[in-house]
Amino acid sequence: MTAPVSAPALRIFAGTTEGRLLCEWASGAGIPARAYAATEYGGELLGELPGIEVHAGRLDEADMKRELSGARIVVDATHPFATLASGNIRAASLAVGARCLRLARPAEALPKGVVSVASIACAARFLSENPGRALLTTGSKELAPYTRVADFAERFFVRVLPLPGAITKCIDAGFSPSHVIGMQGPFTRELNEAMLRQVGAQWLVTKDSGTVGGTAEKLAAARDVGARCIVVARPAEGGGALSLREVEDALLREFAR
C-alpha cells in the first residue's frame, strides 16, 4: 500500500466532523488533498469532493509511513479519544519529514450534576456501585469493563453504529440482541429521550465528545427523563492543538503562495 507518486502534498486524517469540514473547505479553496478514513463507512461519509482523494481502511505503522511519503503537511483530525491513532500519525509524519497539525475539537464545560470519570473502566466501576439500568453510548471497542458488572446483560443497553462488526462485538461480549441498538447519529434531544424512556434507563454513559459529538443533546435528554449522566473525560490534547479556523489559516499560508 503506497501513496501514488502524484498524491497531493496535503493529507488529512478525517475521522470526525471537523475532518469532513476541513476536506470540504480544502476542496472549495482549490487545495488538493488525500483524506483517510478508518472504515469504508467513514469514507462514504466524506462523499465525493473535487480535488479530494479518499482512502478508506485502517493503516498500520508501516503502511502509514509509506502512505505519507511525499506529504508536506499532515492534519490529524481524528476523534478526541483516538490517542493511539494520533500517536501513529505524529510518528509517521516525523518519519517522512512532514509537518503534522492537530485539529482538536474544542472542549466545553459540563453542567452540574454530571458524573465525570477518567475512563470507561471507571464508568463501569461507578455503575457497579450504583443500581439502575444504563444506556451505554461509548462505542463497541471497550465493552469488557461493562461485562464485569453484576447483571450487566440485564441492566445495560448498548448503542453502537449499525455495522456488522460493531454488532458482533456486542453479541460476543455477552449482550443479547434485545439490548443492542444499532443506529447512526447524530441524534436529536428528542430521539435520545425516547431511547432512554424505551429502555427505562436511570443512567446514560457517554464520552465527552463535544457539541459536534452530540454530548449536549444527550445531557439534555437525560435531564428531561430524570436520568443522570456519566461522562468519560477526553484525553488531554497537550500543547499545539489547533481549531478548524487555525488549521485553515495555516494551510492557506502553506499552499496559497
- Band of pLDDT at residue 42, cut at 50, 70 and 90: confident
* Strands 33-37, 180-182: pairing kind: unpaired
Helices (H) then strands (E): counts for the chain: 11, 12
Domain co-membership, 188 together with 244: no
Domain co-membership, 208 together with 121: yes
Displacement of CA 21 from its chain's centroid (Å):
15
24-40 pLDDT per residue, tens: 999 999 999 999 988 77
Higher pLDDT, 30 or 1: 30
Domain co-membership, 92 together with 195: no
Asked if the structure places residue 72 within a domain, the reply is yes
Domain co-membership, 119 together with 228: yes
Helix (H) or strand (E) holding 31: none
Asked if the structure places residue 243 within a domain, the reply is yes
Asked if the structure places residue 1 within a domain, the reply is no
In this prediction, residues 85-112 reach a mean pLDDT of 89
Domain co-membership, 139 together with 72: no
Higher pLDDT, 171 or 111: 171
The domain of 165 spans 115-232
- Band of pLDDT at residue 1, cut at 50, 70 and 90: very low
Order of strands, edge to edge, in the sheet holding 134-136? 115-117, 228-232, 203-207, 134-136, 156-160, 180-182
Half-sphere exposure of 224 (CA within 13 A, CB side): 16
* φ, ψ for residue 212, nearest 5 deg: -70, -15
Preceding omega of 111 cis (within 30 degrees of 0): no
Domain co-membership, 77 together with 181: no
Asked if the structure places residue 53 within a domain, the reply is yes
Domain co-membership, 23 together with 128: no
129-151 pLDDT per residue, tens: 999 999 999 999 999 999 999 99
Asked if the structure places residue 3 within a domain, the reply is no
CATH no. for residue 184?
3.40.50.720
Domain co-membership, 241 together with 147: no
Q: Retrieve residue 56's grid coordinates.
A: 478508506
Domain co-membership, 86 together with 146: no
Angle, helices 189-199 vs 215-225, to 10°: value is: 50
Asked if the structure places residue 228 within a domain, the reply is yes
Domain co-membership, 14 together with 120: no
Domain co-membership, 24 together with 55: yes
Domain co-membership, 188 together with 126: yes
* Strands 73-76, 10-13: pairing kind: parallel
Q: How many domains does the chain have?
A: 2
Asked if the structure places residue 5 within a domain, the reply is no
Asked if the structure places residue 4 within a domain, the reply is no
In this prediction, residues 107-123 reach a mean pLDDT of 89
